[in-house]
Chains A and B, each alone.
Chain A
Amino acid sequence: MGSLARITGCGMSDELVVAHGLRKGYGAGERRVEVLWGLDLAVAHGEMLAVVGPSGVGKSTLLHLLGLLDRPDAGELRLFGIDVAALSVDERARWRNRRIGFVFQFHALLPEFTLEENVAMPLLIAGEGHSTAFAAAAELIEEVGLGPRRSHFPDELSGGEQQRGSVARALVAKPELLLADEPTGNLDATNAEHLFGVLRQLHLSRRLTSVIVTHNEALAGRCGRTLRLTGATVEEACSKT
């Protein structure tokens, strides 16, 4: 299993994410699985990239590498023009906190904190005062349409609402890069549509660069570009938005 890529983007320059020959596998010895086999990737400023592909092909793996949650086995990854291999553990943590927003595939919110507290958490971790953090959180919660549910706990929210809360949290610290791992994965069509609408709108209004992993071809088609990971090769398609 592997993906050999020859991705250069669709005629855009000024790239926020550049990867060269990214390799990643798991395990050792007989149990070794190679997932990414030298992937090349470039995502331009302001671009909205959809990543699609069959389950197990390595979409989450790629996103974790881009989100500094994991390290590649080989290859180079530059974010914001800087080689991330040079970053210390604390700098990686600071980037995850401030420069990268991540919407997780599973386990979105901390169960013992209200929606508001969950959304404010990145700012609290950054050392912001409670009032600033909660004001910013309230604003984003309003933007994703959850105003009235602000002080509810995650288990009192529907899947779609939780996911929108997740999006709000990913963006509260005003990152430049948004990474979303199947944000609509567990949602019905209407809710998926709603969430995607929210994402798109925020992407545009906040001039984000976004990478969105999805199984939903229709939604992928509405992103600027689609990266298609298959077992062996990577195809790409550009669409006009």
Chain B
Amino acid sequence: MRSVLGFVAGRYLLGLRRRTHVAAVSAISFGAMALGAAALVVTLALLEGFQSTIRAQLAEAGTHAELRPRVGRALPEGDWLARLRKRHPELEVRASAGGAVWCLGPDGAVPAELEAVDTLSRIEVNRVLAARLGVGAGSEITIASPRLVLTPLGPVPTRRRVVVGIVNPVQPGDDRAVVFAPVSVGAALLDLGAPRRVVLRAKDPRQAWRVASVVQGEVPEGVEVVSFAALNRPLLAALALERAMIGFGVALVMVVAALNLLCNLALLAAEKRADVALLTALGMTPSRVRRLFLLLGLGVGALGGVLGTALGGVAAEVLDRTHALPLPRGVFIVSHVPFRVTPASVAIVLTVSLVAALLASIAPARAASRRDVLEGLRYE
């Protein structure tokens, strides 16, 4: 039953003889669909290339997971933290406790958060604090705690003079001023108590996304595991939004191609009016006439989409491998425009082109199947 439709559709598309302009016109539709699909594949590959670089950078620099108390300010007591460290040598585990302090530097006094980290042996300040204090690595600062000590001069705050070891980068949007200190320094200034926060990092940054799920089952009831995705939600959401919006914009090319396909199918249906009438007279049912035109539309649209996807995929791969598009040095984190073709984006493009071709074929196919037979037979 299928074969006669394929036979007739194939002959119309290839246009072996005469009426070659129909073949030419369907070739244009085919090309438009292919071009649309190729553009979409290359765009998605480009976005994925840039975004995966950004995500890799994020994993390289930042925290991979965080453990926080579900209620209160301190994590539960117990040896679970020690066990976690022992069981996962592939993770860096930094437990910290702390509180509010004042930091004094050349530019004055700044309120800051002190984090006493158990794995730390020197003082670290984050970039916000460094900027506010006007200090850098090697500078001397004073940390003052709210804890008062009674002296002959009356109660005065506890203070420590320390040397800044390193200035840490900050996550975008984080404007807290933080000083990280070894536990010994922290304990001298504040009542530390149990750790308030544990920061986890995999030694292999590619594992960043898995860290939260790895430790999830191994922490006590009252501990919340915040995953890499949750920690970086605003940035990741922005990236996803960017991909969706640009993808959608470029997908409009497919809509234009599909409209072109629709016009050409309508033209084909008009030109084959007499043929369709004759086929109907010879016993082809209206529903099979409709399927004939759906097949024509899908033949042009889906094949164009598949070809375009393949071409676009190959083009993106080649551009990526050959580093054909260099970027200015020092401005970007990568030296060449990266492309990455993922199975998901290929699936998206194929689906979009199939659906577009199908939607474009429905109306002309319906129209062709509803024409009056006798009118078609008389029409020359």
Q: Is B335 an interface residue (CB 8 A)?
A: no
A contacts with B: majority SS: helix
Evaluate contact between A102 and B281: CB separation under 8 angstroms: yes
Q: Is A90 an interface residue (CB 8 A)?
A: yes
Q: Is A234 an interface residue (CB 8 A)?
A: no
Evaluate contact between B377 and A106: CB separation under 8 angstroms: yes
In angstroms, how far is the closest chain A Cβ from the Cβ of B120? 80
Contacts A112-B19, A127-B1, A127-B4; A121 near B285 (Cβ below 8 A): no
Evaluate contact between B19 and A97: CB separation under 8 angstroms: no
Evaluate contact between A89 and B377: CB separation under 8 angstroms: no
Which of B4, B278, B280 lies in contact with A124, CB distance below 8 A? B4
Evaluate contact between B17 and A153: CB separation under 8 angstroms: yes
Closest chain B residue, CB of each to CB of A68: B281
B contacts with A: majority SS: helix
Q: Is B374 an interface residue (CB 8 A)?
A: yes
Please measure, in the bound complex, the distance between the C-alpha atom of A95 and the C-alpha atom of B282, giving whole angstroms.
9
Evaluate contact between B12 and A69: CB separation under 8 angstroms: no
Please measure, in the bound complex, the distance between the C-alpha atom of A96 and the C-alpha atom of B16, giving whole angstroms.
28
Which residues in window 273-321 of B have CB below 8 A to A?
274-275, 278-288
- How many B residues, CB 8 Å from partner? 29
Q: Is A155 an interface residue (CB 8 A)?
A: yes
Please measure, in the bound complex, the distance between the C-alpha atom of A130 and the C-alpha atom of B3, giving whole angstroms.
9
Q: Is B18 an interface residue (CB 8 A)?
A: yes
Range of interface residues on chain A?
Answer: 20 to 34
Closest chain A residue, CB of each to CB of B274: A107
Closest chain B residue, CB of each to CB of A102: B281
Question: Which residues of the other chain, A, contact B1 by a CB distance below 8 angstroms?
Answer: 127
Q: Is A174 an interface residue (CB 8 A)?
A: no
Evaluate contact between B286 and A125: CB separation under 8 angstroms: no
Evaluate contact between A125 and B279: CB separation under 8 angstroms: yes
Evaluate contact between A110 and B17: CB separation under 8 angstroms: no
Q: Is A104 an interface residue (CB 8 A)?
A: yes
- 5 A–B contacts, CB within 8 A, in A order: A89-B286, A112-B12, A121-B4, A126-B283, A127-B1
List 5 extra interface pairs beyond A130-B7, A153-B18, CB under 8 A.
A93-B286, A97-B283, A107-B278, A112-B12, A124-B4
